């Protein structure tokens, strides 16, 4: 009986442990550098855990290093316009901490052309997480070149004034959503 209870406990703990998130296996030099930045900074958001239980800090395509940050998971605030804007400000502050400043000049030539930062927000009302924004830094441009996007599916359901405001501030729509 003791063996059965022990085996059952081991099985249950193994099942719950298997759902935890982890860094990708064998990250390259630049992914390791980004992970180092994540681990050494005090981010307001958490690194997003994708559907494969990997922290979203890896390459998607060629020359595009992606980082996903999740907000509102602990606070579970209602997603009002004001709360979304406050989360967006936190996201922009976190991005500033994660810019690839820890790469030496001799390592610059092979660094990714694009760093894509995705903003995920937990919606307590729907008990689900959604990607709201995407910021892309083009490292080949002098002083960097930023492109900013909003999730067209989510914001098309909102008031047209919100979409107009984003577009006036340089945001474009995107359907490039990663979960």
Are 121 and 70 contacting, i.e. CB atoms less than 8 angstroms apart?
yes
pLDDT digits (tens, 9 = 90+) for 85-111: 999 999 999 999 998 887 888 887 788
Start-to-end C-alpha separation, the chain = 43
Q: What is the DSSP string of 111-129?
A: S-SEEEEEEEEEETTTTEE
pLDDT digits (tens, 9 = 90+) for 22-59: 999 999 999 999 999 999 998 888 999 999 999 999 99
Q: How large is the average pLDDT for residues 118-122?
A: 96
Nearest one of 154, 137, 15 to 66, comparing CA atoms: 137
Provide the pLDDT confidence category of residue 7 given band limits of 50, 70 and 90. Answer: very low
Provide the pLDDT confidence category of residue 119 given band limits of 50, 70 and 90. Answer: very high
Cα 174 from chain centroid?
A: 15
Domain regions of the chain by residue span = 21-174
pLDDT digits (tens, 9 = 90+) for 126-154: 999 999 999 999 988 877 789 999 999 99
| HSE-CB for 40 with a 13 A CA cutoff | 12
pTM of the model: 0.84
Does residue 13 have a pLDDT over 80?
A: no
pLDDT digits (tens, 9 = 90+) for 53-87: 999 999 988 899 999 999 999 888 999 989 999 99
Query: At 57, is the secondary structure helix, strand, or coil?
Result: strand
Nearest one of 85, 98, 75 to 132, comparing CA atoms: 85
Does residue 6 have a pLDDT over 50?
A: no
């Amino acid at each position: 009986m003791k063996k059965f209870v022990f085996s059952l406990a081991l099985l249950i703990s193994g099942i719950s442990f298997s759902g935890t998130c982890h860094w990708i296996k064998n990250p390259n030099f630049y992914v390791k550098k980004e992970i180092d930045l994540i681990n050494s900074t005090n981010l307001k958001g958490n690194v997003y855990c994708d559907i494969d239980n990997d922290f979203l800090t890896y390459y998607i395509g060629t020359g595009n290093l992606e980082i996903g940050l999740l907000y509102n998971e602990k606070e579970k605030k209602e997603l009002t316009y004001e709360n979304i804007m406050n989360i967006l400000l936190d996201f922009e502050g976190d991005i500033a901490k994660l810019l690839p400043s820890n790469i030496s000049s001799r390592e610059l030539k092979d660094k990714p052309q694009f760093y894509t930062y995705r903003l995920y927000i937990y919606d307590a009302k729907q008990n689900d997480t959604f990607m709201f924004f995407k910021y892309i830094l083009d490292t080949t441009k002098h002083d960097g070149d930023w492109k900013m996007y909003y999730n067209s599916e989510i914001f098309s359901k909102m008031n047209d004034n919100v979409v107009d405001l984003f577009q006036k501030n340089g945001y474009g729509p995107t359907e490039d959503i990663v979960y």
